[in-house]
Structure 1
Amino acid sequence: MAHSMAAHPDRLLPAEPGVRDIARSLYNLVEGLPIISPHGHVDAAVIEQNLPFPDPAALLVTPDHYVTRLIHAGGVPMDQLGLGETATGSRQVWRNFCAAWPDFEGTASGYWIRQEFEHVFGLHDEPTAENADRIFDAISAKLSEPGFRPRQLFKEFNIEVLATTDDPLDSLDSHAALAADPAFAGRVLPTFRPDPYVNIAHPEWQDNVERLIGVGASGASGYAGYISALESRRRHFVENGAVSADHGVRTPATLKLDAADAERLFERARAGKASLADREAFEAHMMYQMARMSVEDGLVMTIHPGSYRNHHGPTFEAFGADTGHDIPFAVNYTEAIRPLLQDFGTAKDFHLVLFTLDETVFSRELAPLAGFYPSVYIGAPWWFLDAPDAMLRFRAAVTETAGFSRTSGFIDDTRAFCSIPARHDTSRRIESSFLARLVAEHRISEERARELIVDIVDASPRRVFKL
């Protein structure tokens, strides 16, 4: 086609002309604002080393489990998507993706990829089985251009802050190099992610704990050394610019144990004798400890629960984690988070950002919690919910109880660097659309909506993540 739908200036704005006009005027206020990305999964080394991106399939298909999962659901084996030891070549992976393109109609992934084709790669045609090789070659040519390196795109995308997600024992050398480079104007901030050191069920937990104590405990041992090492590594992250600690827990359960009980659970786990109940209690206790540490060191605490990781055992065994079969389940925040909030919910300068994959939680639990506790903020729609209609449902669900000031600002949470501007633009259009409806219904003034859209897009993430 001559012109992609991704080029339409009113994409995602309301269909009713009067409301669309209001939304367009609001969007115009924020379209050019810098991108603030306080939580994501791009590797800092990609920016620091500034190497060319790989081929189109390795960039846009294989690492994106939003994409591979849906193609796989249509019957394409995972190794035909570039995964596993017997993976097929990139050009065939791309052909499989293009042949499956009709399956992406109506999905958030389809929308983002269209935006990338149009606004990042300058491609206007829809992918098909027939034009797969031509598009592959066109993108490959673009990837080879000197101006298409990560640092150049970082500037072109107008990214001001990009947070990564990092192992507690990471040296953070790439972050330090970027911070010290006078030629690089952006901020690439590490994020402390201790899941493999806190979750006893993690297959490498025992080895991870021994390495952690060896590196960060300053000679202490046992549970006391473990806690001391976590505190030490958090300080290392703060010294290297970190503003938050992220926790990808199974549930939002929290539990306050005395030191003796915690030590007994810890030693039982080190000996390989922890029961399921032990594992759940210890992880819940460590969420309480992480909140205590955040109160002390100032790192914003973000919690991402409610995903049944690696749902299909055979796929996990053959292809590993993050390959498209993490499935959401219902969570209970009100009771689960209460032990933590009893002690830290009103602590000075503590920020706790709560995410969910369970939409029912937004209005029933998260909005009321954020509407009382000064520490609690509602995390933006995440993962399966970071889609246009789900974003609108989120705003409708939380705003009447918690208002606009108690939400985090948009979180792209992505590994796909080239999709970052598309995702942030989507959020800005959806927020403009929601506010425009309130203006059209005479629920807020247009003047106030103009203030709110700037606050939502720019001030909220700065405020919530202490930027």
Structure 2
Amino acid sequence: MSLLHPDRLFSPDPSARAIAREIHAGIRDLPIISPHGHCDPAWFAADAPFADPASLLVRPDHYVLRMLISQGVTYEALGIAPLDGGAAETDMRAVWRRFAQHYYLFRGTPTRLWLDFTFQDLFGFDEPLGPDTADTYFDRIAECLARPEYRPRALFDRFGIEMLATTEDALDPLDHHRAIRESGWNGNVITTYRPDAACDPDHDQFQANLDTLAEITGCDTGHWDGYLDAHRNRRADFRAAGAVATDHGVAMPQTADLAARECRALFNRVRAGSAQPGDAALFRAQMLTEMARMSAADGMTMQIHPGSQRNLNRSVFERFGRDKGFDIPRAVNFVDGLSPMLNAVGDAPGLRIVVFTLDETTLARELAPLAGAFPALLLGPAWWFYDAPDSIRRFREAVTETAGFYNTVGFNDDTRAFPSIPARHDMARRLDAAFLAERVADHRLRETEAHEIARALTVDLPRRTYRLAGSTA
């Protein structure tokens, strides 16, 4: 018995399926490039054993959390304590049993594919997880996690990861990345510059963050020019820690290109706590353009992840904090929103701006035409809620006719759940093989071209986008 069918995600049509098998065979064992995600660098700095199955596979995974919460399981029952120090489950076997009891909820979801891949490929299971097998799963996984070959660095090598980027905010001391470099381990784990908390006047710690930014950099963040210098200084620190990209998780893809005197006046109002209505949004918009200018100067690839209404459930946010499964997609406007930034720097030589969307209606109408015209703009893959089989197919269908394959950047997994990385990349490679096979079968592509494109989507385009070793451009 097997948890996964060998032809999963391939076409039911025999001729297309046979071609997909051949394409997939050519990319299946290529290295994994993970240029954006939220794994904890402390895992690789300390290389300590993972604590237990629930802490590894349940509690860090947004997809798992939100599904269980939507069906009435409480955070406390999953071992997640309130910020006020209230009680929560401490027995991780009990947490795992609750997860197994509700595993049927994931039928038909990508989470089920990823977890079954992990259970089969990493831990050797061939019978499904459920209430009757919960303890068997827990015991075997716990036993595996105690072995040296299941420590973070060993799994990194086993997964065939060429590069993994974590994401740290502008104030992070980067101690874990320093420890990784000084350890002598050759795993390529790098950081990514995420300045949101120091660019958003609506952030509850914005003023304090600017004070801390000044302390870290020695720059005067009491005025506009010193504030920009502080970001340049921190970007240099991140590059020294291996960073090749920045990341911007804005609610709306709104940019601005104000005159210098207007920027200074806006900053003065925001810094003094006397912002007028609309100033916070305008400041965020201007900072996206400033970050694009800095990327044009220092070569860091800029990633923009807009369109999420974050922490929508206020009571959950207040009781448990950020990132607890209540970030919800919303409609956005890229043409009007990105126009000021693209007109300012969209033709800058060497600049790479990767844009993601949670609003699928923008793919064919806005993003593919924009990326098919502006040299700096590239399309990020189907992301987050759309990192799923049908959504990835829709992404390829929506953008390929206008932007082609080479204005996209391949795949990234954007995950906190480390063991799911190979599972997610396996899914993406199968879906790309299936998509290309159908275009060979209907004679839109030659088979040799399909193999070349598959390799490009898997390794060549990510290497090029993030200027990694082995890039040809």
Report the TM-score, using the length of structure 1 for normalisation: 0.97
Q: Which residue of 1 aligns with 2:146?
A: 144
2:9 to 4, 9, 12: 12
Question: Cα deviation per residue 1:4-58 (whole Å; 9 max; x = unaligned)?
Answer: 1x2x221211111111100000000001100011111112221121011111111
Q: Which residue of 2 aligns with 1:122?
A: 124
Is 1:343 equivalent to 2:340 in the alignment? Answer: no
Q: State the 4+ residue runs in structure 1 displaced beyond 3 angstroms.
A: 179-182, 217-221
Residue identity matched to 2:18: D
* Aligned pairs for 1:266-285 within 5 A: 266-285=267-286
Q: Find the aligned partners of 1:177 and 1:269 in 2 and give their Cα distance.
A: 37
* Aligned pairs for 1:78-227 within 5 A: 78-85=75-82, 86-89=87-90, 90-182=92-184, 184-218=185-219, 221-227=222-228
Which stretch shifts more, 195-204 or 73-82?
73-82
Aligned residue for 1:336, secondary structure, equals helix
Work out whether residues 389 and 427 of structure 2, in 8 Å CA contact, stay in contact via their aligned partners in 1.
yes
Q: Which residue of 2 aligns with 1:258?
A: 259
Q: Which residue of 2 aligns with 1:357?
A: 358
Aligned residue for 1:373, secondary structure, equals coil
Aligned residue for 1:353, secondary structure, equals strand
1:70 to 64, 67, 70: 67
Work out whether residues 306 and 357 of structure 1, in 8 Å CA contact, stay in contact via their aligned partners in 2.
yes
**CA shift at 1:264, angstroms?**
2.5
Question: Cα deviation per residue 1:181-207 (whole Å; 9 max; x = unaligned)?
Answer: 44x232111100000000111111110
**CA shift at 1:171, angstroms?**
2.6
**CA shift at 1:177, angstroms?**
3.4
2:53 to 48, 56, 74: 56
Is 1:30 equivalent to 2:32 in the alignment? Answer: no
Q: Which residue of 2 aligns with 1:449?
A: 450
Question: What is the aligned length?
Answer: 463
- RMSD of aligned residue pairs (Cα, Å): 1.3
Work out whether residues 333 and 365 of structure 1, in 8 Å CA contact, stay in contact via their aligned partners in 2.
yes
Work out whether residues 47 and 151 of structure 2, in 8 Å CA contact, stay in contact via their aligned partners in 1.
yes
2:36 to 29, 35, 39: 39
Work out whether residues 210 and 221 of structure 2, in 8 Å CA contact, stay in contact via their aligned partners in 1.
no
The unaligned stretches of length 5 or more in structure 2 are 469-473
Q: Find the aligned partners of 1:264 and 1:139 in 2 and give their Cα distance.
A: 57
**CA shift at 1:180, angstroms?**
4.3
Q: Find the aligned partners of 1:44 and 1:438 in 2 and give their Cα distance.
A: 40
Aligned residue for 1:416, secondary structure, equals coil
Work out whether residues 98 and 128 of structure 1, in 8 Å CA contact, stay in contact via their aligned partners in 2.
yes
Question: Cα deviation per residue 1:233-272 (whole Å; 9 max; x = unaligned)?
Answer: 0111112221101000011100112233222322322333
Which stretch shifts more, 84-93 or 449-458?
84-93
Work out whether residues 168 and 194 of structure 2, in 8 Å CA contact, stay in contact via their aligned partners in 1.
yes
Q: Find the aligned partners of 2:176 and 2:68 in 1 and give their Cα distance.
A: 34
Q: Find the aligned partners of 2:282 and 2:369 in 1 and give their Cα distance.
A: 26
Work out whether residues 37 and 414 of structure 2, in 8 Å CA contact, stay in contact via their aligned partners in 1.
yes
Work out whether residues 41 and 413 of structure 1, in 8 Å CA contact, stay in contact via their aligned partners in 2.
yes
Work out whether residues 217 and 228 of structure 1, in 8 Å CA contact, stay in contact via their aligned partners in 2.
no
**CA shift at 1:87, angstroms?**
1.8
Aligned residue for 1:437, secondary structure, equals helix
**CA shift at 1:220, angstroms?**
6.7
**CA shift at 1:143, angstroms?**
0.8
Q: Find the aligned partners of 1:268 and 1:249 in 2 and give their Cα distance.
A: 21
Residue identity matched to 1:55: D
Work out whether residues 217 and 225 of structure 1, in 8 Å CA contact, stay in contact via their aligned partners in 2.
no
**CA shift at 1:322, angstroms?**
0.8
Q: Find the aligned partners of 2:21 and 2:322 in 1 and give their Cα distance.
A: 41
The unaligned stretches of length 5 or more in structure 1 are none
**CA shift at 1:439, angstroms?**
0.2
Residue identity matched to 1:63: P
Q: Find the aligned partners of 1:203 and 1:145 in 2 and give their Cα distance.
A: 43
CA distance change for structure 1 residues 166 and 443 in 2, over 3 Å: closer, same or farther? Answer: same
Q: Find the aligned partners of 1:3 and 1:240 in 2 and give their Cα distance.
A: 42
Residue identity matched to 2:165: A
Is 1:324 equivalent to 2:325 in the alignment? Answer: yes
Q: Find the aligned partners of 1:50 and 1:295 in 2 and give their Cα distance.
A: 36
Q: Find the aligned partners of 1:326 and 1:25 in 2 and give their Cα distance.
A: 39
Q: Which residue of 1 aligns with 2:388?
A: 387
Q: Find the aligned partners of 1:207 and 1:135 in 2 and give their Cα distance.
A: 46
Work out whether residues 161 and 189 of structure 1, in 8 Å CA contact, stay in contact via their aligned partners in 2.
yes
Q: Find the aligned partners of 1:128 and 1:272 in 2 and give their Cα distance.
A: 54
Q: Which residue of 2 aligns with 1:417?
A: 418
Aligned residue for 2:306, secondary structure, equals coil
Question: Cα deviation per residue 1:288-332 (whole Å; 9 max; x = unaligned)?
Answer: 110111111111011000000011111111111111111000110
Is 1:249 equivalent to 2:250 in the alignment? Answer: yes
Aligned residue for 2:409, secondary structure, equals coil
Q: Find the aligned partners of 1:273 and 1:88 in 2 and give their Cα distance.
A: 44
Residue identity matched to 1:389: D
Q: Find the aligned partners of 1:220 and 1:441 in 2 and give their Cα distance.
A: 59
Aligned residue for 2:173, secondary structure, equals coil
Which stretch shifts more, 132-141 or 341-350?
132-141
Work out whether residues 219 and 227 of structure 2, in 8 Å CA contact, stay in contact via their aligned partners in 1.
no
**CA shift at 1:214, angstroms?**
2.2
Q: Find the aligned partners of 1:105 and 1:23 in 2 and give their Cα distance.
A: 24
Residue identity matched to 1:422: A
**CA shift at 1:461, angstroms?**
0.2
Work out whether residues 217 and 226 of structure 1, in 8 Å CA contact, stay in contact via their aligned partners in 2.
no
Residue identity matched to 2:8: R
Q: Find the aligned partners of 1:388 and 1:276 in 2 and give their Cα distance.
A: 42
Residue identity matched to 2:88: A
Percent same amino acid among aligned pairs?
A: 46
Aligned residue for 1:356, secondary structure, equals coil
**CA shift at 1:3, angstroms?**
2.3
Q: Find the aligned partners of 1:31 and 1:117 in 2 and give their Cα distance.
A: 19
Residue identity matched to 1:393: R
Q: Find the aligned partners of 1:383 and 1:460 in 2 and give their Cα distance.
A: 20
Which stretch shifts more, 281-290 or 74-83?
74-83
